[in-house]
Structure 1
Amino acid sequence: MDPTAPRSHGPISIRLVRSRDARGLQAELMGNRAWLRPWEATSPDGPVSLDMRVGVRRLLQQYRDGGGVPFVMEYHGQLTGQLNVWGISRGSLSSATIGYWVSERYAGLGITPTCVALATDLCFQELRLHRMEVCIRPENRASLRVVEKLGFRYEGLRRRYIHIDGQWRDHYAFALVREEVPDGILQRWLSGRVPADAAVIPPADRFDPERGVEEGST
């Protein structure tokens, strides 16, 4: 099976990004600035371009080089956001990381968890990777719900891990290995077999959004 062929569940699907998607992605990014800015990667060296024509070219080059697989997420055939499998490592590590964003008007429709499940299954079953990781800012409750629904296992707090919205930000790390979902993560979720406590964050690592610190900090 072609690992870049579209994958779908009901009206929700992922497919490899195309050069002609740049205009639609640009429109979604610009129309969702307030919604997306708090979670967008930035550069400590200064402003970066939001030109999606350049961005898509870079993503497709990364795909050709074997370093990632860039997808768009769709709902009833309409572009809703992006999901990128990046940092692919082969050999003894055999892992990758998933990052994603969805337009505000499509939030709450189950698009993101379904697409993350589709992409994870593809990486395990077609790309034969062993471990998939998702890293999330502690303040991003919507994204935390994605890993809770799918049963990604909490692995720890990474301090000042990624430059987001102008600063180095802490992230929670969640992961799955292939042996944990032998029938696929989508099937496990749909059949109600997700472990209830897999993504639970221990008190020492929990973030207090009102104080801006972890609950266990002093």
Structure 2
Amino acid sequence: MPLGREIEDPGVLSSGRVAVRIIRWSDADALRRLLTENRSWLQQWEATHPSGRSVVPGSVSMRPMVRTLRRQLRAGSGMPFVILYDGSVVGQLSVSEISGGALQSSQLGYWVSQHVAGRGITTTAVAIVIDHLFAALGLHRVEVCIRPENAASLRVVEKLGLRHEGRRASYIHIDGAWRDHEVFVALRGDASAGYAARFARD
């Protein structure tokens, strides 16, 4: 079940040159441009519909998607962020499946433009958001599921020291087929000083 309450917009959360904030209407064009420019970079990691009727990201207006994502805040079920580097939108980070009750958990996914990859931007953004989920929402568990072939995403969770819990077979339909995913988890209390501080220190 969702968190059971509306989630407040936390404003801008930052660490150095990297920041995240809730997606806005004004981000639609920038995101569409990034998705179009990064087709070959992102396609192999993007979710698809088993029916084959998936819409190619960036091929249509992003405004309906922004509206849908922002509804998650009101429903207490998700937090849709954009990733900023030196103030410019360079990717997205989505917190979904937020659960209250006895679970107090969520799932986290992300992508970043190829032109800024390899600079620790995604790792910093993930750390910032995990810290916020624990401190502000009081969650107990944050889960990240990654295809075993996605070396760049695996480096993100490895740098942050997330727990590896195993593999989910044929877990999500990605790039036209059901794909296995490795499961990584952050538990509240695993990083006493916070994940952003842990990554900055390392």
Same structural fold, with TM-score higher than 0.5 when normalized by the shorter chain: yes
Larger Rg: 1
Partner of 2:92: 82
Residues matched between the structures, number: 191
Partner of 1:215: none
- Note if contact 1:137-1:172 (Cα within 8 Å) is conserved in structure 2: yes
Aligned mate of 1:177, from 168, 187, 192: 187
Structure 1 residue 22 corresponds to structure 2 residue 28: yes
For the residues of structure 1 that align with 2:53 and 2:137, how far apart are their CA atoms? 34
For the residues of structure 2 that align with 1:156 and 1:4, how far apart are their CA atoms? 32
- Matched residue of 1:179: which SS? coil
Shift of 1:190: 2.3
For the residues of structure 2 that align with 1:58 and 1:48, how far apart are their CA atoms? 17
- Note if contact 1:3-1:122 (Cα within 8 Å) is conserved in structure 2: no
Letter in 1 for 2:150: N
- Matched residue of 2:148: which SS? coil
**TM-score w.r.t. length of structure 1:** 0.85
- Matched residue of 1:180: which SS? coil
| More relative contact order, 1 or 2 (CA 8 Å, 6+ apart) | 2
Shift of 1:187: 1.2
For the residues of structure 2 that align with 1:190 and 1:156, how far apart are their CA atoms? 27
The two structures, once aligned, show a CA RMSD in angstroms of: 1.1
Shift of 1:3: 5.3
For the residues of structure 1 that align with 2:86 and 2:199, how far apart are their CA atoms? 21
Aligned-residue identity in percent: 50
Letter in 2 for 1:111: I
- Matched residue of 2:82: which SS? strand
Aligned mate of 2:132, from 122, 140, 145: 122
Deviations 1:123-180 (A, max 9, x none): 0001110000100000000000000100011001000001100111000000011021
For the residues of structure 1 that align with 2:93 and 2:185, how far apart are their CA atoms? 16
Q: Which runs of 5+ in 1 are unaligned?
A: 193-218
- Matched residue of 2:180: which SS? strand
Partner of 2:15: 9
For the residues of structure 2 that align with 1:189 and 1:111, how far apart are their CA atoms? 11
For the residues of structure 1 that align with 2:74 and 2:49, how far apart are their CA atoms? 24
Shift of 1:59: 0.6
Q: Which runs of 5+ in 2 are unaligned?
A: 1-7
For the residues of structure 1 that align with 2:201 and 2:35, how far apart are their CA atoms? 34
Partner of 2:38: 32
